[in-house]
Amino acid sequence: MTSNLPMHPILYLDDERDNLIVFNSAFRREYDVHLAGSGQEGLEILKKHEIQVIITDQRMPEMTGIQFLEKIIPDYPHCIRMILTGFSDIEAIIQAINTGRVYRYITKPWNKEELKMNIDKAIETYQLRCQNRKLIEDLKEANQTLEQKVSDRTRKIELQNREITCSIQYASRIQNALLYPHTDLEKLFHSYFILNKPKDIVSGDYYWMPTRDNKAIVAVADCTGHGVPGAFMSILGVSFLNEIVNKTVTIRTNEILNQLRGQVIKSLHQTGKSDETRDGMEMALCIIDFGKMRLQFSGAFRPLYLLRKGDIIELIGDNMPIGIYEEEESSFTNKEIPFEKEDVIYLFTDGYLHQMGGYNRKTFKSQNFKKLLLDIHTHPMHKQKELLEGKLTEWQGDLEQVDDILVVGIKL
């Protein structure tokens, strides 16, 4: 029974016609045999046919077998090359094998079964090499496709990032527009500083400083989260505070916080269920009565520091947030004290205190912050801001900023 599969093309070179006839007779039913009586004839056949295996006699006039096989390597590198030789040429043949010019040698006279076995192994080697080349080409193509996809995806992500960043930067301008401009604050306070370092482009920390009836209201708040979520909360906070102060006849710090808490709970639909988010804010809020030289203070988890002649007075806020709370809601407390000229007050969020750094990679902590304020509070306010920034940079080192940072200092 004959096979319908295509036979593998092989080329046999020999300058003796009888040897060509014998080889063809032995293998014409096994392979697609091409015969050449010289190296030149072999080159012509290679131009016309895709040969898989080449078998050549070593001793031929004009061009030896090794010379022919070396000559075809540049143009036909993938052909499997074998050579027929006598024992006198073994040393040259082995050298040719070692340099990769010859796949295998067969001694004459050849045996049909042995030669067929070698030809079959050569064809198998040719096919494996073809498969390997195909796999390599497919892999290169896949890599190029993957690189292109990665490049396209990277460009898309970069474009999206630029668009998102532009949107956030625009949101930052809106957020900053809600804060009181420095030109207004300079008219209100004799000397002050605002150290505001958002962790991201927009911040969950904000300050609020309106005036009413010869009184200044100063609030420093820290909203849940930072970045965009915190910024949304800050915008809510500023809007609610403006509404509360504009509608209230007699303003007191604890009443402002009580009403603000109610507005936050209502707007965020907080019910106190265990599975709902506890968004809200911490806040230090004071009212400065310039006429009576008195200071009101209320706080939601945040304190106020007053420094006077080398001493520090700490007004502690209540341990409850502006938002839903597990405990029964009670009123924020109101604390009122007189102040003196040259007193300095500081309101701040927890970002400065929680910044990681130092030799042991720990948080800055409140005791270090108090000591720092005691050391610098006699300096001009702009100098105090520089010293606070310098200490923060020194403490932080190469660590990233962990939270929004806001410190407000006012000389009364």
Q: What is the pLDDT of residue 277?
A: 67
Supply the pLDDT for residue 64. 87
Confidence (pLDDT) at 116? 93
Q: Tally the C-alpha atoms within 13 A of residue 300's C-alpha that lie toward its C-beta.
A: 30
| Structure confidence at residue 175 (pLDDT) | 61
What is the block-wise mean pLDDT of the chain (412 residues), using blocks of 10 residues?
Answer: 72 93 94 94 93 91 87 91 78 72 84 92 92 91 88 86 73 65 74 91 86 90 76 85 88 94 87 71 94 95 94 94 78 95 94 92 94 95 96 94 94 90
pLDDT reported for residue 311: 93
The per-residue pLDDT for 105 is 83
Give the per-residue pLDDT at 177: 64
Number of C-beta neighbours around residue 117 at 10 A: 11
One-letter identity of residue 36: A
Q: Which residues of 353-390 are buried (b: 16+ CB within 10 A; e: fewer)?
A: bebbbbeeeebbebebbbebbeebbeeebeebbeebee
Q: Are 198 and 404 in contact (CB under 8 A)?
A: yes
* Angstrom distance (rounded) from CA 188 to CA 242: 18
Residue 63 is predicted with a pLDDT of 87
C-alpha of 234 from chain center: 28
13/170 Cα distance (integer angstroms): 80
The tokens describing 94, both together, are 């082995």
DSSP one-letter code for 301? B
Cβ 290 vs Cβ 216: under 8 Å:
yes
User: In the CATH scheme, what is the code of domain 9-134?
Assistant: 3.40.50.2300
Topology of domain 179-411 in CATH is Phosphatase 2c; domain 1 (3.60.40)
Domain boundaries, the chain: 9-134, 179-411
CA distance 276 to 274: 6
